[in-house]
């Protein structure tokens, strides 16, 4: 925090931290003689309230060669989702000159640059999912948690949890096949890479009657088949797929 009234260069392996001297609040560092970030430089930024963060305000020429790493630290009062201006007054600044290092846990962070300002956008994973699928982070309209824009019977909240496509009725978590193999029943269902599943069974459909056939089933991106041993001898049996 403060002003540097001279040309400033951050060398490879060097770091610049415009924070408020460990006071637990965000600060602005004004560099009035211009700023050069060499390849391998590091910028450490604190984030606090909505849209409030450390900032480097550049007055004079700006240049960045190679890649500068930006580390983000969430202070007490960090508000989470929002847009934060990290570097301003930097003519010609490009987001491609920067890479994110450490970021607040549980959030999706992206960098963008426009009009001499490097901005940080912080979203929850679900907001990021809405943006990718509906062009908006807002929990409203077709992007609302309770909406079902593809009409497959699964809400957006359920599609998000399952990792399926909310705009494709053919992409839905379901039991896709049940076949018999001797005294066993083989249950098939489509999976998504990175998701885990649990196959449950019931003879009555009552809430307390569901038991686990197999848990911690890793998604492969393809159809998974599981065997319920001896199930063919039952007069009736129901199955469901659960994802945490």
* 3-class secondary structure, 30: strand
Residue 19: predicted pLDDT: 78
Report pLDDT digits (tens) over 70-117: 999 999 889 889 999 999 999 999 999 999 999 999 999 999 999 999
Instruction: Give the strand pairing for 82-88 and 117-123.
Output: antiparallel
Q: Are 199 and 226 in contact (CB under 8 A)?
A: yes
Report pLDDT digits (tens) over 126-162: 999 999 999 999 999 999 999 999 999 999 999 999 9
Residue 22: predicted pLDDT: 55
Compute the distance between CA of residue 195 and CA of residue 125 in angstroms, rounded to an integer. 14
Residue 4 burial by Cβ neighbours in a 10 Å radius (0-12, 13-18, 19+) = middle
**Nearest 5 degrees, angle CA 76-CA 77-CA 78?**
95
Query: What are the Cα distances from residue 152, in Å, to 166, 169, 172, 173, 215?
Result: 9, 5, 7, 10, 25
Residue 97 is classified by DSSP as: G
Report pLDDT digits (tens) over 191-210: 999 999 999 999 999 999 99
Residue 1: predicted pLDDT: 58
Compute the distance between CA of residue 241 and CA of residue 184 in angstroms, rounded to an integer. 18
Compute the distance between CA of residue 65 and CA of residue 38 in angstroms, rounded to an integer. 5
Per-residue confidence band for 25, with pLDDT thresholds at 50, 70 and 90: confident
The H-assigned helical ranges of 35-101 are none
User: pLDDT exceeding 90 applies to what percent of the chain?
Assistant: 90
Residue 50 is classified by DSSP as: T
- Residue 178: closest CA among 231, 218, 102: 231
Q: What is the pTM of this model?
A: 0.80
User: Helix, strand, coil shares of the chain as percentages rounded to 5?
Assistant: 10, 40, 50
Output Rg (C-alpha) for the chain, integer angstroms. 26
Report pLDDT digits (tens) over 14-23: 999 997 655 5
Q: Are 220 and 174 in contact (CB under 8 A)?
A: no
Compute the distance between CA of residue 213 and CA of residue 203 in angstroms, rounded to an integer. 13
Per-residue confidence band for 5, with pLDDT thresholds at 50, 70 and 90: confident
């Amino acid at each position: 925090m403060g002003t540097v009234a001279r040309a400033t260069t951050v060398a490879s392996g060097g770091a610049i931290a415009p924070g408020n001297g460990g006071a637990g609040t965000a600060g602005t560092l004004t560099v009035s003689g211009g700023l050069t970030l060499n390849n391998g430089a590091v910028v450490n930024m604190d984030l606090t309230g909505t849209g409030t963060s450390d900032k480097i305000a550049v007055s004079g020429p700006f240049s960045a060669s190679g890649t500068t790493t930006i580390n983000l630290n969430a202070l007490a009062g960090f508000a989470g989702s929002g847009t934060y201006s990290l570097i301003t007054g930097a003519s010609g600044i490009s987001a491609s000159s920067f890479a994110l290092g450490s970021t607040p846990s549980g959030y999706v962070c992206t960098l963008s640059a426009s009009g001499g300002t490097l901005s940080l956008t912080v979203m929850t994973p679900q907001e990021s999912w809405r943006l990718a699928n509906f062009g908006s982070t807002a929990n409203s309209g077709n992007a609302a948690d309770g909406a079902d824009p593809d009409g497959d019977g699964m809400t957006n909240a359920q599609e998000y949890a399952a990792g399926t496509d909310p705009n494709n009725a053919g992409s839905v978590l379901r039991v896709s096949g049940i076949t018999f193999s001797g005294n066993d029943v083989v249950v098939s269902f489509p999976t998504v890479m990175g998701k885990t599943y649990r196959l449950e069974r019931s003879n009555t459909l009552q809430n307390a009657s569901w038991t686990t056939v197999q848990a911690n089933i890793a998604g492969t991106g393809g159809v998974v088949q599981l065997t319920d041993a001896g199930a063919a001898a039952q007069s009736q049996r129901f199955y469901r797929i659960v994802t945490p």
